[in-house]
Structures are given as structure tokens and as C-alpha cells.
């Protein structure tokens, strides 16, 4: 009635039983229509538009799928190839069956989410570890689901937790660890709903994004990955949160220590939790600390396995003791400022400020320009995590995390509640001065006190 030009087309399709690189294609298995509206070609596949096939139950579910009705040629021809090349558009006339069969199977969400493929080959080969990374770039962020099936089970049974995906800006990486040698099919689904947690082919929540065939030739067998999701999730990415120190969320370290730096879109606090794979909901206490940096947050994690090789980094809020002993330059101030300082050291599990005088040796020196350099030496006889507090006029001014991997096996300091070294109050009362020696440092065995103006006394 409308006098529209309509042609029926027979040919190949990448349907429910298809996998990329299929070695037994049936050219007469499918038919669809080609219609011209205003001189422009559109494809119609009434079978695909009306529903989808569930391979697990071998049933057909009726469900309207608009993508396959009046589809543009570039959105249709990846999954449909005419047996007669004269029945196709100019884009497909020079495309061979072999090239078409070896290209990734593209789903509707590829165009909805504006995805660019890094790997344009549909058949991928895993490395010698039976691992491979697949990268996608998306202009529209959403939720991703994936299913890995094996040819040995006719691609019907999902192999759980062998694929992990994580985000970096608007790029997503799928890290695949095959359970062993063989031919596998990876189906990736997507939706624009950021918090969606379920997926099935053709469902309202998710639809097909892309399908690859992955071949593993190595005899190596990889254990399943963690069941929980890794990396920054789309809602966090959209808000500006991102890990800036590591690209992949699985971090391998030989030193049993790692620092993870995480950028934040605005000021605020992040809550980090460290747990083991066997008990993901149980937090490990005293294994990490949080350090605020300019424009980002850092979570240094001290892991349990192996030896902790620790260095002293005074410019950072941590003191790391390799053999239970170490020191740090706490503060430099004008010597004339009469402002009493006090240090306390207590176990990180304690909420009380405890002065452990035999573990702390606080001492002051003179420096250039009449500056007093206040330092603290530590000897801790038991391994663990401690907090070193600095009080100025009874006000908490700063604190350091002290990580002691091995207790000190020598003598501790003599007990004292006061700091060692010169007292400005006493020097001022006695009108004494302390001459500089060795560029502001004293000799190890002697301290010289000079009285004014005539007498020098060795003490």
C-alpha cells in the first residue's frame, strides 16, 4: 500500500549458537528484510526483534528488541551477511565470509554506549600464562557484566570468576584468566544503569555489547578470581574518584608493602578496609594507615607475609623501625621560644596517652641562627604498631605512626619524664650561652658551657 521497496535476504547470521571463528556456518540458516525509506536502506530482522533464545534452557523468549527493527546498515551488518552479495549494501560488497566470521560479534550496546574496541580481531590468543587483557573505551559509562563459557560444554555453562573488569577514567579493562587450555567464548553485556547487578542476553537491564573467542594454548590452569568487584566503579568514576598510583586493581608486591594513592574530587575523608580473600568482610586491624596528600589520599598497606624492610622517613607522618630502633627530627623552632614540648608513645590499640619514657629519648640541640632542633630516638622492645604524639603546651600538635617489625633486643633508655639537652629557662636564668661546634652539632663525649664573660667550665 505504501509502495515501499522491500527485499527478502538469505544468508549467515551470528545467532545464539554462534561463536567468533565458527568452523561450520550454515548459509541457509537465516533470513531478514532490506527496506528502503526515502532512498535510504534499513534492515529488519523480525526474529531477533521479537525476542531471543536462551541457550541454557533452549527456549525462545518473546521480547521486543527495537535495535533489530529498521536498523542502520553499520549497526546490522556485523551480525548478518547475505549469501548473495548483490543483496547487500555497498559497505559489505567487498567483505569476505572469512573476515566477517573472524570479527568480534557486536551487540546493540556497542552503539548505545559509544564503545571503541582496542582489539579488533574477534579471535584472541591468551599469553603463556593463559591470561589476556581486553580493553574498551566508552563515552557513556554504565554497568558491565561478562560470561565466560567453554567449547567443551557447548558454550552453555558459565565458568565463574575467571574474568575481572575495572575502570580507568572512561576506559574499561577485562582481565581474563583462563582455567586451562581450550577454546572459550567471552560475552560482555552492558547497561546505562550504573548500579545494575544482574545480566542476561536481551534483558531489560543488560544487552549484548561484544563477544570474543579466546584460545588458550598453555597448560597453565588459573584459579578463580575473587568474587567481589575490583577497581573504581562507574558511579565513583563519574564523581572524579580515581586510583592514580596503579593501573590494575590486583597489585603484586615482593616487599609485602604497597602504597595506594587515590585522587578525590574534593576535600573529604576516605574509609579504607584491608581484608583477606578468605574473609573479605573481616577487616585486618593495624595493617595500614591513611595519609592525606595534596589533592589525593594515600593508603600504605603493610601486609602480613614476609619480612618488613622499613626506613625512616621524617618528612612523612610515619616512623618505620627495622630492628626496633630509630629516630626522627620532630621540630625545629627558635631557641628563645619558651614553649614546653612533650612526647608520648602508646600502642595503637590503646586510646590513652601513655608516656613510655624508657622507649623515648627526646633531646634538643642548637642549630644555626639560634634554632633549636628537637629530635626523638626510639627503642621499642616489642614489634607492633604504635602512635607517637607531640604535645605543645598540653595541646596535641602532631602524631606519627610507628611501625616496628622487630623488637629492640638491647638496653632501653633510662626512665625520664623530661627531655634531655639544654634548657632555655636555666640558661637564661644563669646568663649562659652554648657555643656552636662542628657546624651546630656537639662532640659525642663532651658538652661545653660558657659563662659570661670570663670563665669557661667543662661539664
Q: What is the mean pLDDT of the segment spanning 309-324?
A: 54
Can you say whether the dihedral through the CA atoms of 76, 82, 88, 90 is positive or negative? positive
Please state, in angstroms and rounded to a whole number, the distance separating the CA atoms of residues 399 and 404: 16
Identify the pLDDT of residue 130: 94
Q: Are 242 and 260 in contact (CB under 8 A)?
A: no
Inter-CA distances, 335 with 237, 288, 371, Å: 50, 36, 5
How many CB atoms neighbour CB 46 within 10 A?
Answer: 11
The per-residue pLDDT for 444 is 38
| Mean pLDDT confidence for 178-187 | 94
**3-state secondary structure string across 265-282:** CCCCCCCCCCCCCCCCCC
Lowest-confidence region among 105-109, 212-216, 337-341: 337-341
Gap between the Cα atoms of 449 and 365, Å rounded: 13
| Residue 214 predicted with pLDDT over 90 | yes
Confirm if 312 and 297 have CB atoms less than 8 A apart: no
**Arithmetic mean of pLDDT, 303-327:** 54
Task: Report phi then psi at 432, rounded to 5.
Answer: -105, 160
| Nine cell digits for residue 144 | 558491565
The stretch 250-271 carries a mean pLDDT of 72
The C-alpha angle with vertex 382 and arms to 343 and 315, in degrees rounded to 5, equals: 45
pLDDT surpassing 90 at residue 92 = no
pLDDT of 453 > 80? The answer is no
Measured CA to CA, the distance from residue 405 to residue 396 in angstroms comes to 26
- DSSP 3-state percent helix, strand, coil across the chain (nearest 5): 10, 40, 50
**What percent of the chain clears pLDDT 70, i.e. is strictly above it?**
63
Q: Is the dihedral of CA 61, 64, 70, 71 positive or negative?
A: negative
Backbone angles phi, psi at 39, to 5 degrees: 80, 0
Cα-based distances in Å from 104 to 45, 116, 160, 267:
20, 12, 22, 43
Considering 27-31, 119-123, 372-376, the range whose residues carry the highest mean pLDDT is 119-123
* Alpha carbons 315 and 328: distance in angstroms, whole number: 9
pLDDT of residue 201: 40
Task: Identify the three-state secondary structure at position 170.
Answer: coil
- List, in order of start, the domains of the chain with CATH numbers: 5-98 (no CATH), 112-216 (2.60.40.10), 251-302 (no CATH), 312-421 (2.60.40)
Whether the predicted pLDDT of 271 surpasses 70: no
> In whole angstroms, how far apart are CA 200 and each of 145, 190, 268, 326?
9, 10, 38, 58
Is 97's pLDDT higher than 70? yes
Beta-carbon contacts of 354 under 8 Å, excluding residues fewer than 6 positions away, are: 344, 345, 346
Residue 371: per-residue pLDDT: 61
Q: What is the mean pLDDT of the chain?
A: 74
pLDDT digits (tens, 9 = 90+) for 380-409: 888 888 888 877 767 777 778 888 888 888
96-105, 291-300, 329-338, 433-442: range with lowest mean pLDDT: 433-442
pLDDT digits (tens, 9 = 90+) for 281-303: 666 666 666 666 655 555 565 55
Cα 415–Cα 421–Cα 423 angle in degrees, nearest 5: 110
> Within 13 Å, how many C-alpha atoms sit on residue 283's CB side?
8
Residue 169: pLDDT band with limits 50, 70, 90: confident
262 or 32: whose pLDDT is higher? Answer: 32
> What pLDDT does residue 459 have?
38
**Among candidate residues 327, 286, 324, 326, the one with its CA nearest the CA of residue 303:** 286
Give the mean model confidence (pLDDT) for residues 206-216: 91
Whether the link from the prior residue into 364 is cis, omega within 30° of 0, is no
Banded model confidence at residue 436, pLDDT cuts 50, 70, 90: very low
Band (pLDDT 50/70/90 cuts) for residue 248 is confident
- CB contact at 8 A, 270 and 288: no
pLDDT at 20 over 80: yes
Model confidence at 121: pLDDT above 50: yes
Rounded CA gap, 274 and 293, in Å?
20
What pLDDT, on a 0 to 100 scale, did the predictor assign at position 230?
67
Position 352 confidence tier, pLDDT thresholds 50, 70, 90: low
Ranked by mean pLDDT, the top range of 316-320, 329-333, 408-412, 454-458 is 408-412
Range from 62-66, 117-121, 219-223, 418-422 carrying the lowest mean pLDDT: 418-422
pLDDT for res 204 = 44
Counts for the chain of helices (H) and strands (E), in that order: 5, 31
Helix (H) or strand (E) holding 234: helix 234-239
Confidence of residue 127 (pLDDT cuts 50, 70, 90): very high
Amino acid at each position: 500500500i505504501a509502495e515501499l521497496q522491500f527485499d527478502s535476504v538469505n544468508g549467515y547470521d551470528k545467532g545464539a549458537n554462534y561463536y567468533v571463528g565458527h568452523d561450520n556456518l550454515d548459509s541457509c540458516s537465516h533470513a531478514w528484510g532490506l527496506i528502503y525509506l526515502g532512498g535510504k536502506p534499513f534492515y529488519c530482522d523480525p526474529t531477533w526483534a521479537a525476542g531471543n533464545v536462551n541457550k541454557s534452557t533452549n527456549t525462545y523468549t518473546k521480547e521486543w528488541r527495537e535495535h533489530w527493527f529498521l536498523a542502520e546498515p553499520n549497526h546490522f551488518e556485523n551480525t548478518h551477511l547475505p549469501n548473495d552479495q548483490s543483496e547487500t549494501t555497498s559497505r559489505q560488497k567487498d567483505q569476505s565470509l572469512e573476515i566477517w566470521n573472524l570479527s568480534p560479534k557486536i551487540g546493540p550496546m556497542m552503539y548505545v554506549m559509544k564503545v571503541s574496541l582496542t582489539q579488533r580481531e574477534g579471535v584472541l590468543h591468551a599469553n603463556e600464562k593463559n591470561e589476556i587483557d581486553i580493553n574498551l573505551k566508552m563515552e557513556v559509562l554504565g554497568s558491565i557484566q561478562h560470561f565466560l563459557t567453554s567449547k567443551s560444554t557447548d558454550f552453555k555453562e558459565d565458568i565463574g570468576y575467571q574474568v575481572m573488569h575495572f575502570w580507568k577514567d572512561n576506559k574499561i579493562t577485562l582481565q581474563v584468566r583462563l582455567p586451562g587450555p581450550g577454546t572459550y567464548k567471552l560475552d560482555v553485556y552492558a547497561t546505562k544503569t550504573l548500579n545494575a547487578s544482574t545480566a542476561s542476553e536481551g534483558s531489560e537491564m543488560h544487552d549484548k555489547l561484544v563477544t570474543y573467542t579466546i584460545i588458550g594454548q598453555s597448560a597453565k590452569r588459573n584459579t578463580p578470581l575473587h568474587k567481589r568487584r575490583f577497581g573504581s566503579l562507574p558511579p565513583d568514576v563519574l564523581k572524579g574518584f580515581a586510583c592514580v598510583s596503579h593501573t590494575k586493581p590486583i597489585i603484586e608486591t615482593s616487599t609485602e608493602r604497597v602504597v595506594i594513592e587515590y585522587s578525590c574530587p574534593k576535600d573529604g575523608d576516605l574509609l579504607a578496609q584491608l581484608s583477606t580473600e578468605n574473609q573479605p568482610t573481616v577487616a585486618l586491624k593495624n595493617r595500614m594507615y591513611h595519609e592525606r596528600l595534596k589533592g589525593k589520599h594515600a593508603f600504605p598497606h603493610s601486609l602480613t607475609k614476609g619480612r618488613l624492610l622499613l626506613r625512616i622517613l621524617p618528612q612523612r607522618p610515619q616512623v618505620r623501625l627495622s630492628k626496633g630502633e630509630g629516630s626522627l627530627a620532630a621540630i625545629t623552632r627558635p631557641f628563645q621560644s619558651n614553649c614546653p614540648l612533650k612526647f608520648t608513645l602508646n600502642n595503637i590499640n590503646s586510646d590513652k596517652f601513655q608516656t613510655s619514657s624508657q622507649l623515648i629519648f627526646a633531646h634538643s640541640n642548637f642549630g644555626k641562627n639560634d634554632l633549636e632542633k628537637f629530635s626523638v630516638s626510639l627503642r621499642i622492645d616489642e614489634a607492633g604498631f604504635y602512635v607517637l604524639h607531640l604535645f605543645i603546651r598540653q595541646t596535641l600538635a602532631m602524631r606519627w605512626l610507628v611501625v616496628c617489625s622487630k623488637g629492640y633486643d638491647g638496653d632501653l633508655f633510662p626512665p625520664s619524664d623530661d627531655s634531655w639537652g639544654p634548657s632555655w629557662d636555666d640558661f637564661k636564668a644563669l646568663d649562659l650561652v652554648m657555643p656552636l661546634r662542628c657546624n651546630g652539632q656537639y662532640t659525642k663525649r663532651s658538652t661545653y658551657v660558657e659563662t659570661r664573660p670570663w670563665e669557661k667550665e667543662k661539664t
